[in-house]
Structure 1
């Protein structure tokens, strides 16, 4: 395991130390600082962009060759950080005597360690990680006229007003495709100059507002269709077992909704978050994978396989099999037999 020590919580200083540790090549334009690295430590890009009133963006798109611990060894007060992972996962700890916390893909996360806590991130080995940090330096933001902090819930109001860092805070909220979509748009801005800066700043504030809204809804226990909780994610995981056990049947989204107790819309959101597929796309892919296994490891005819995976039409099965694997089921089995004969 590698270990990188960062001795500042100030965004620009922290970025410079990360660049030094990872040996990256720095480019600067329109207020953005981006460094790219491709060496024995890994490869990827890290970007920072500061805005007014203590708000800044820090994002990573990196793959490291070894599990890497990044430790913030500083007495400075850490900014409040709004974190969102678009790909991969991350582990976090601010107390060496307790286990790491898992930060998951598409989960809304807010952290603010106490001043003397040792903030530590554990980056995975050989895993492409895409993660955004929106950082807010409290005492600078509080100087902003019409900062409207008082309109937040009591928990966040106390967090923003804790300029001494007396109390640590961590929020692991719901999973949100809406925030994921906005992050994707943020990373696809291709303008230059003032248009780029304004576009990035506008999208950053929109993402921040969505993360604050999710926190509010989470604390108020509000059921929002486009967000999904950890408990609902667990139910969807269990639902995949049900699908596998009933693969020979006609499985509709209404049946799955009844089985899980989740609305059809929640199911679609959950499957998109977990598997990047709609419910029907997931079921179809599973049926095709099982059919391929039958073709390879059994003597069942194609018609028997079609029946076993719950597809009514052999011609439809052949069509979707070809779309997925660019070969017809009968040709796939022939290819396997010829390969076995030649060996």
Structure 2
């Protein structure tokens, strides 16, 4: 068994000590710490990025060869948002005791007094786990607003809420993991994605609280993985001709389980999810490609231009043609310039 300690207020030293414990390679700047290892202790990476709004993002992508316990220092009146995109994480502390953060679920918590949360990584298990830590001393407005929403009383800022399953956060985390370098552009992108993760976590937690525990599911982990795969497939290939029956055959799930999974993960039905993905793709095509509206509709899998125009206007408040005239980067560009632009980009 290995014990490692992580303290955000001593981030550089914490990572140096963890790298020594795991015999890991380490790369550090004042804002970024990355370590990676592939040795007798296992394989994986741990990274931390501090953004300019006093928020720190941690990502663990690890598979240890023996049990590892991470002792995460929880600072006084800080706000923590966590998400588990692979595996199920065991967490415990002196205040909230023991709980399990299941795959594709998140938590939001805060403690009035400094504490240690013990996070358990079982051996020979692949984990992907993220933590967002917000220092209330530096971002007091956000902290106060969140505590007002989730705390049990005005005199007690201790709270812990666990969410139901959702895939949106996993998608944002995948985008963060594509930010390989610590530079200004990536810092700005990170801040945007971290805010999206926090907003999504809060939104889903509020919905779960309003449901008062009625949002139960009979889906297995295997079912959940199938739902995630098919949702990603739709997102990457919106122009395919999807039907409930074909998706059920591909996933070997019943129509009811398929719909239940999409409701659980995406807060929408299968058909609504497909339509939204197609409209978002169509918006990108309108802005970035020199295509007719009919060509765009066909590219995203919609055969009827009139239907496409109707649902596009419902979502974006403009018809596709008006949207193209206002926002396309090809608007008012001569044919020769269009050709030059396409050649360069």
Q: Residue 171 of structure 2 aligns with which residue? A: 181
Please say if residues 150 and 157 of structure 1, whose CA atoms lie closer than 8 Å, have aligned partners that are also in contact. no
Q: How does 1:123-142 map to 2 (within 5 A)?
A: 123-142=121-140
Q: Residue 84 of structure 1 aligns with which residue? A: 83
Structure 2 residue aligned with 1:103, among 98, 101, 104?
Answer: 101
In 2, Cα distance between equivalents of 1:78 and 1:14: 21
In 2, Cα distance between equivalents of 1:256 and 1:189: 37
Cα RMSD for the two superposed structures: 3.9
Cα 1:97/1:157, change in 2 over 3 Å: closer
What is the number of equivalent residue pairs in this alignment?
A: 240
In 1, Cα distance between equivalents of 2:265 and 2:74: 42
Once the 2 structures are TM-superposed, how far is the Cα of residue 135 of structure 1 from its aligned partner? 0.6
In 2, Cα distance between equivalents of 1:216 and 1:115: 25
Higher relative contact order (CA closer than 8 Å, sequence separation 6+):
1
Please say if residues 107 and 176 of structure 1, whose CA atoms lie closer than 8 Å, have aligned partners that are also in contact. yes
Cα 1:251/1:31, change in 2 over 3 Å: closer
- Deviation track 1:150-172 (CA, whole Å, cap 9, x = no partner) reads 6547343789x98xxx6542211
Pairing 1:220–2:210 present: yes
Pairing 1:197–2:191 present: no
Please say if residues 8 and 14 of structure 1, whose CA atoms lie closer than 8 Å, have aligned partners that are also in contact. yes
Please say if residues 149 and 157 of structure 1, whose CA atoms lie closer than 8 Å, have aligned partners that are also in contact. no
Q: Gaps spanning 5+ residues in structure 1: where?
A: 241-249, 273-343
Cα 1:21/1:170, change in 2 over 3 Å: farther
- Deviation track 1:181-217 (CA, whole Å, cap 9, x = no partner) reads 1111121235663222222222122112111222222
In 2, Cα distance between equivalents of 1:252 and 1:185: 26
Please say if residues 6 and 70 of structure 2, whose CA atoms lie closer than 8 Å, have aligned partners that are also in contact. no
Q: Residue 236 of structure 1 aligns with which residue? A: 219
SS at match of 1:118: strand
Q: Residue 66 of structure 1 aligns with which residue? A: 66
In 1, Cα distance between equivalents of 2:81 and 2:174: 16
Once the 2 structures are TM-superposed, how far is the Cα of residue 90 of structure 1 from its aligned partner? 1.0
SS at match of 1:199: helix
In 2, Cα distance between equivalents of 1:38 and 1:10: 27
In 1, Cα distance between equivalents of 2:32 and 2:103: 25
Cα 1:267/1:14, change in 2 over 3 Å: same
In 1, Cα distance between equivalents of 2:190 and 2:247: 41
SS at match of 2:129: strand
SS at match of 2:161: strand
TM-score normalised by structure 1 residue count: 0.58
Once the 2 structures are TM-superposed, how far is the Cα of residue 176 of structure 1 from its aligned partner? 0.6
Please say if residues 239 and 256 of structure 1, whose CA atoms lie closer than 8 Å, have aligned partners that are also in contact. no
In 1, Cα distance between equivalents of 2:111 and 2:180: 35
In 2, Cα distance between equivalents of 1:102 and 1:49: 25
Q: How does 1:325-340 map to 2 (within 5 A)?
A: none
SS at match of 1:202: helix
Q: Residue 239 of structure 2 aligns with which residue? A: none
Q: Choose 208-217 or 131-140, whichever is displaced more.
A: 208-217
In 2, Cα distance between equivalents of 1:256 and 1:120: 39
Q: Residue 18 of structure 2 aligns with which residue? A: 18
The structure that has the greater radius of gyration is: 1
In 1, Cα distance between equivalents of 2:158 and 2:152: 11
Structure 1 residue aligned with 2:150, among 156, 165, 168?
Answer: 156
Please say if residues 88 and 103 of structure 2, whose CA atoms lie closer than 8 Å, have aligned partners that are also in contact. yes
Once the 2 structures are TM-superposed, how far is the Cα of residue 269 of structure 1 from its aligned partner? 5.4
TM-score normalised by structure 2 residue count: 0.58
Cα 1:270/1:10, change in 2 over 3 Å: same
Once the 2 structures are TM-superposed, how far is the Cα of residue 10 of structure 1 from its aligned partner? 2.1
In 2, Cα distance between equivalents of 1:252 and 1:53: 42
In 2, Cα distance between equivalents of 1:125 and 1:141: 37
Once the 2 structures are TM-superposed, how far is the Cα of residue 77 of structure 1 from its aligned partner? 2.4
In 2, Cα distance between equivalents of 1:121 and 1:270: 26
Q: Gaps spanning 5+ residues in structure 2: where?
A: 224-244, 267-345
